[in-house]
């Protein structure tokens, strides 16, 4: 089973002390917060929206007045939360949790602008130490954020803890392309085009070089599924999307 050590982790392809990774990740997202969603569109050709829509379809929040509480981890700017709220009924509420106040500020402004501030709330918190009581949420999601957590196994245990029995955890994350030719093209695009785009749009090419490199350090789907099982999740499964560019992981608190 793949897991991180207590003493060091990887920031891109460089090994750094575990205690330093969070501050380095914070700096990355502080620099790109205002144009984060624009960069997602440019980097993925808009595909990130389809991938997130697939996650929300699997979540299938109730379209009634029945209460349903979602926790969206590392949800910063709110795009997953807003899409889920639009797909759900009046009983739906979502808490967006993120460690970065700059990302949360963008999300709050967007929630007010689209009149969803009564259904979507924002909380600054660390995924490794959530300030919520046990068994609070009906479901939890995280999209493209788990690989930036210094201790992934700790965050998975926390996600499990705050779920109600019968609750579902869904994780959307970049994966490992396994199709001939596509893997080479994807590699060239990732390491050459994406940092260039990041430099032009946000003025911070290094931030996007890190984001690309962090994808290569993330466990393959089967290994991450093992990490979810070790955290307590049952009925763990995953599906690869777009030739393996991303994987959608699912697990339940049984």
3-state class (DSSP) for residue 220: coil
pLDDT in tens, 196-239: 887 887 777 877 787 788 888 899 999 999 999 999 999 999 99
pLDDT tier at 18 (50, 70, 90 boundaries)? low
Kind plus residue range of the DSSP H or E element containing 8: strand 8-11
Residues 6 or more apart from 157 whose CB is under 8 A from it? 231, 232
Q: What is the pTM of this model?
A: 0.85
Q: How many CB atoms lie within 10 A of CB 164?
A: 14
Q: How many CB atoms lie within 10 A of CB 98?
A: 26
Asked if residue 16 has pLDDT above 70, the reply is: no
- For residue 240, what are its two tokens? 């690869």
Domains of the chain, start order: 8-252 (3.40.50.150)
Distance CA 152, CA 35 (A): 26
Q: Give me the chain's average pLDDT, please.
A: 86
Cβ contact 110:122 at 8 Å: no
Distance CA 102, CA 85 (A): 22
Q: How many CB atoms lie within 10 A of CB 45?
A: 9
Asked if residue 12 has pLDDT above 90, the reply is: no
Asked if residue 62 has pLDDT above 70, the reply is: yes
Burial group, residue 165, by CB count within 10 angstroms (0-12, 13-18, 19+): exposed
Sign of CA pseudo-dihedral 13, 15, 16, 21: positive
pLDDT tier at 248 (50, 70, 90 boundaries)? very high
Burial group, residue 91, by CB count within 10 angstroms (0-12, 13-18, 19+): middle
What number of H helices and E strands is found in the chain? 10, 9
Q: Cα–Cα–Cα angle for 235, 236, 238, nearest 5°? A: 135
Q: What is the pLDDT of residue 211?
A: 76
pLDDT in tens, 97-151: 999 998 899 999 999 999 999 999 999 999 999 999 999 999 999 999 999 899 9
Q: Which of 73, 81, 74 is nearest to 56 (CA)?
A: 81
Distance CA 9, CA 170 (A): 24
Distance CA 50, CA 91 (A): 25
């Amino acid at each position: 089973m793949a897991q991180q050590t207590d003493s060091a982790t990887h920031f891109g392809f460089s090994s750094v002390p575990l205690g330093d990774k969070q501050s380095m990740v914070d700096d990355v997202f502080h620099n790109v917060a205002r144009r984060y969603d624009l960069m997602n569109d440019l980097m993925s050709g808009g595909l990130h929206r389809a991938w997130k829509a697939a996650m929300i379809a699997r979540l299938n929040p109730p379209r009634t007045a029945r209460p349903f509480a979602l926790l969206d981890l590392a949800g910063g700017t709110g795009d997953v939360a807003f899409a889920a709220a639009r797909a759900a009924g009046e009983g739906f509420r979502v808490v967006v949790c993120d460690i970065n106040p700059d990302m949360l500020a963008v999300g709050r402004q967007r929630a007010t602008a689209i009149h969803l501030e009564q259904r979507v709330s924002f909380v600054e918190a660390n995924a490794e130490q959530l300030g919520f009581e046990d068994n609070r949420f009906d479901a939890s999601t995280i999209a493209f954020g788990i690989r930036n957590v210094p201790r992934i196994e700790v965050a998975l245990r926390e996600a499990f803890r705050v779920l109600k029995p019968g609750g579902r955890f869904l994780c959307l994350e970049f994966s490992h392309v396994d199709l001939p030719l596509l893997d080479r093209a994807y590699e060239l695009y990732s390491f050459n085009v994406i940092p260039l785009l990041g430099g032009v749009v946000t003025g911070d090419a290094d931030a996007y070089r890190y984001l690309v490199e962090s994808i290569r350090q993330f466990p393959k789907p089967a290994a991450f599924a093992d990490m979810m099982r070790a955290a307590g999740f049952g009925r763990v499964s995953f599906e690869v999307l777009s030739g393996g560019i991303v994987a959608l992981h699912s697990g339940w608190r049984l």
